[in-house]
Structure 1
Amino acid sequence: MIYSKEFYSILSKLFQLYSRKISFYSYTFSLLVNIPANAKWAQNGVTIAGGHGGGDATNQLYRPYGLFVDDDQTVVIADYENHRIMQWKNGDTTNGQVFAGGKGQGNGLNQLKYPSDVLIDKENDSLIICDQGNRRVVRWFCHSSTAQGEVLIDNIRCYALAMDDQRYLYVSDEGKHEVRRYQLGEKNGILVAGGNGKGDGLNQLNRPTYLFVDRDHSVYVSDWNNSRVMKWVEGAKEGIVVAGGQG
């Protein structure tokens, strides 16, 4: 099967922008699950954000990390070295908009420090941001009159975020080598992967980074320093190696 030009061009744009990870709600982009093995993709991507060299102008990015794509194809990007979150609307490839941060690195509620991931919580029209350098997860409301965020979780070496269809937030902690699930508003969360110290056992992780949560609430974890991808079924005490892990 060959998908429509519009469909695969959108996907190729995203992969070209940052190949390490794409973050979606599993239920808003569940058609990914149904892509057949013989699907074909465009051979060349199209730049939809940045592409003007590394810098801090509104038409530039500097080491973009995680991103999220909304239903209207607006792309929200964690612009890591610029300490800001950028928003690029569909069709506007000239300039993005600074949505959060962009006031220099710092720990003020109107600042970010090396944000590494972002997602959109559509239920209350807000962005949830992994503010890695400040060791916190923050929320910025899209239509707030105050240009600042609020702290959801602190004292965490967060790297990446995911959200399931019940609005539980999943956060990878590369300091504690674990992934926790949080109900929005709670501070401690429930351990869902790792948490047994740094290591390469099936019940361990070593610097977990990006995440994906499927419809069954299984968590897929990029286990960076173990060079593998792990799957942790909901409630499991250990994970399953689904890719890599051969050294």
Structure 2
Amino acid sequence: MLEPVGVLTRYLERTMAQARYDLAGPGRFVGELPELGLRVEAEHLEAARQALREALEAWLLDALRSGLTPPGLEGGEDPVRSRFFALAGEMWRLVRETPAEAPKAQPPQPEPAKAHEAPKAKKVASVEEWLKGLGIQVVKKPQEEEEKEKVLTRLALFLGDRYPSLEKLYERLKQSLSTKRQFELSLSEASQEEIANSTQFCTMLKQYALLTSYHYKSEERRIRAKASTEGWVQNFLTGGWLERYVAERVRKFLRSKNLPHEVAVGY
């Protein structure tokens, strides 16, 4: 019976890997699984992710109770999996048809002989301990406050996922950091996707104080903006975003494979 449970775990992880998250406003994060019609709101990103996971689990439970095979759990004939779903449906039918009874006391079960106990798994060292064991000096950079960390990670994902359409804007942002002056970017020959992504990204940067000024003239299709000279902004825009982006994509891949993992960043 362990294999079917693994099937459900992998299904949940695979489905959650397709989730979309967005910032609907200050303190309002939205999580969605559009294919399943699931949408939640929460005060911060981690709460939205947790609420969406719970909504998905409730949806999956309702589907199993109804005897339906959720999308993504179909596939070729698997006798073990088919038997698991058949048993799950039969158990639910019995629960509905059998009146509730007071739980009966169970006789004490004999403890298994210690000689047959499985050996305890050896504790795996953290990435930091592993590096130190190789004789490598490890220095952890100070982290930003938790809410800022989440915002920077979201900005990194937005930039990394849309980099081809944001490359021109990104180059101008870095140029603004070096000159400490306002920059202009003409989007007169850009596609609608490039315009939408560029203006949305600038709006996010201005909202979170990575830009000190931002204005978009729609009739000219021209962006005028200036990047903040704060140290944390420079660190993020000149390369820190890429470390965050790679770390999040690695985490997503490992979660999709249902693999235990640790990703170390900020060293």
Scaled by the length of structure 2, the TM-score of the pair is 0.20
- Which protein has the bigger helix share? 2
- Which protein has the bigger strand share? 1
Q: Which has the larger radius of gyration?
A: 2
Scaled by the length of structure 1, the TM-score of the pair is 0.22
Which gives a bigger RCO, structure 1 or 2 (Cα 8 Å, sep 6+)? Answer: 2
